Amino acid sequence: MLPEKIKIETARYYKVKTSDIESKKRSADITLPRMVAMYLIRENTDVSLADIGKLFGGRNHATVIHAIEKMEKAITEDSQLQTAVEAIEKKTREKSK
């Protein structure tokens, strides 16, 4: 799974622009898709934390760690979020074939 495909499918799922989740914007409608994409890239690729940060507007690796940890916790508590993550993951896998 390529990071770019994960970003594209996440943006498509949440109906935002890929450029928005890569940007410095911090509104809630952008931060959730960004965190989901960071989480999925970390879970499904061997891209380093620093490189994930670079994919999202040059963010620090600590920011990426925070996003991933927040997602791990949120997924266990929010079945809707878990369903969204699984749907994006499935769609990305389908497009990778």
Residue-averaged pLDDT of the chain: 94
pLDDT tens, position by position, 7-24: 999 999 999 999 999 998
- Compute the distance between CA of residue 48 and CA of residue 11 in angstroms, rounded to an integer: 21
The answer, yes or no, to whether residue 66 has pLDDT greater than 90, is yes
Mean pLDDT along residues 21-33 = 93
**Helices in the chain by DSSP H: which ranges?**
3-14, 18-22, 28-44, 49-55, 61-77, 79-96
Q: How confident is the model at residue 95 (pLDDT cuts 50, 70, 90)?
A: confident
Superfamily of segment(s) 3-96: DnaA protein, C-terminal DNA-binding domain (1.10.1750.10)
Instruction: Read off the DSSP letter of residue 23.
Output: S
